[in-house]
Chains A and B, each alone.
Chain A
Amino acid sequence: KAGVTQTPRYLIKTRGQQVTLSCSPISGHRSVSWYQQTPGQGLQFLFEYFSETQRNKGNFPGRFSGRQFSNSRSEMNVSTLELGDSALYLCASSFSIGQAMNTEAFFGQGTRLTVV
């Protein structure tokens, strides 16, 4: 079956702009999580959505937001971009109804955002 799809793969934005990234989870998966990866901070958890509700949130400013749609697709938005927002943004999906709770997460290839 198809894996996790993230679009776009690459993006260049200017400081102060906003950006929206998209994630389509594996068919049947209900949980979508977002992570930011930078050379300095490594992989950091942004937020997690399950059944259209935000279930967990990491330690990021309010400029970072997300949502999940009824088909489990998710978007994340970053407003008022800063140079430090340049990163690889990764989406992971997991948990189909009926699966055990200890299921693994599957990651997409990420969106590489460069803020200039």
Chain B
Amino acid sequence: DAKTTQPPSMDCAEGRAANLPCNHSTISGNEYVYWYRQIHSQGPQYIIHGLKNNETNEMASLIITEDRKSSTLILPHATLRDTAVYYCIVRVPGFSGNTPLVFGKGTRLSVIA
């Protein structure tokens, strides 16, 4: 089962920041937080991941609380093309190959013009 809890849906106005929360209260010390998104009928797309420090890349920022029990994905200036299902996943990177991604139901983000 997925180890994360996300709201089923959120709306965001175009041009505003989208803040997507994720609860992972049972995360263990060696588990990373990964975010993927899936635009309709496409394969999931990697967004960002982190262990305990905040991370930023060209797509988004990831804020992880100090106790690591929750995190927030921030899309700084949401566009209509950011409308997708966003998945928060915690996992331990494997040594001989990676451990699988366990997808929950995710958050369906609708960006509204």
Partner of A43, one of B93, B95, B99, B103: B103
**Chain A interface SS verdict (over half):** strand
B contact face: mostly helix, strand, loop, or mixed: loop
Q: How far is the CA of A110 from the CA of B38 in the complex (A)?
A: 12
> Would you give the 0/1 interface string for B20-61, flagging 1 where the beta carbon is closer than 8 Å to chain A?
000000000000101000100111111001010000000000
Please state if A30 and B103 are interface contacts (CB–CB under 8 Å): no
Residue from A31, A50, A56, A101 whose CB has the most chain B CB atoms within 10 Å: A101
- A contacts, CB < 8 Å to B: 4, 30-31, 33, 35, 42-45, 48-51, 55-56, 58, 88, 90, 92, 94-95, 100-110
Question: Could you list which residues of chain B lie within 8 angstroms of chain A, going by C-beta atoms?
Answer: 32, 34, 38, 41-46, 49, 51, 87, 93-105
Residue pairs across A and B with Cβ atoms less than 8 A apart, 19 shown, are A31-B97, A33-B100, A43-B44, A44-B103, A48-B98, A50-B98, A55-B96, A56-B97, A56-B99, A88-B41, A92-B44, A101-B94, A102-B32, A103-B98, A104-B49, A107-B45, A108-B43, A109-B43, A110-B42
